Amino acid sequence: MKKTILITGASSGFGLMLANKLHKEGFNVIGTSRQPEKYARSVPFKLLRLDIDDDSSIQTFTQELFAYTKHLDVLVNNAGYMVTGIAEETPMELGRQQFETNFWGTVKVTNALLPYFRKQKSGRIITVSSIVARIGPPNLSYYTASKHAVQGYFKSLRFELNQFNIKVSMVEPVWFKTNLGNHAVAATNGSIADYNTYRKLVNAATQKGIDEAESPDAVVCTITRLIEAKEPKFSNPVGKMSRMILFLQNHAPKMFESAILKSVNTAK
């Protein structure tokens, strides 16, 4: 029996690439989008409406999902977005909205599906996080915090779900060429003069990371391997230098921090 895989945020970026790849490989793929009618004719897989910020949308989606399919093997939590900006300059409400989507939205969708996974005593939950959750670079304080919260939540959850044969994994990409960076929400209000020079440098460094990003194929392949792995690992950093970055942070923190500062100060 072919596996049924649910991918949130499947109308663009990692989610769309993954959904297309898995569909071609013969999996039963179900994607979600806030505007499925906008994309349904251009994708070969089923696309359901879901706004992970909206409790009623999650409830309606869950009903529609199990009206469409009686079997679900894998949940890929991919939906989310990025807030950029100097921490002190970022309005609290913008930070709350970041958490509402990246953390609470992800948790709510997962919790809506857990009763089904528990009942069948099997399942996989794969959540797309980010390498920034592990390292905390400048200009991404709320995005980093939201992804760090997601990491912590699922790190605990994996122990609780082990008794039900539900496997939990995180995917932690570096910068990749998707629309995440280009569609980021920038904090533009309340500029503080003391940060004027630094802001220009750090914005340039952030843009450089986006411009020089790798193709997202490696992320899609990593998620595909986790779907098929007998014992999938919890933590899965992906991308050029990702493991070296984590090694330096853990074993040579001064060198790591100097490299981060240098990347900002030399950005143009």
Q: Of the candidates 79, 195, 68, which has an alpha carbon nearest to the alpha carbon of residue 141?
A: 195
**In CATH, which of 3.30.1310.10, 3.30.1490.20, 3.40.50.720, 2.60.40.420 is domain 4-240?**
3.40.50.720
Burial of 128 (0-12, 13-18, 19+ CB in 10 A): buried
The 10s digit of each residue's pLDDT in 152-175 is: 999 999 999 999 999 999 999 987
Instruction: Indicate if the pLDDT at residue 182 is higher than 60.
Output: no
pLDDT at 250: 77
* Residue 247 neighbours by CB under 8 Å, 6+ apart: none
Give the active site residue among 39, 81, 116, 143. Answer: 143
In terms of Cα–Cα distance, which of 52, 245, 246 is closest to 150?
A: 52
pLDDT digits (tens, 9 = 90+) for 131-144: 989 888 899 999 99
Compute CA distances 144 → 99, 111, 134, 176, whole Å.
10, 22, 8, 16
Of residues 184 and 71, more confidence is placed in 71
Catalytic: 142? Answer: no
Global pTM value: 0.91
Q: Considering the chain, what percentage of its residues have pLDDT values greater than 70?
A: 94
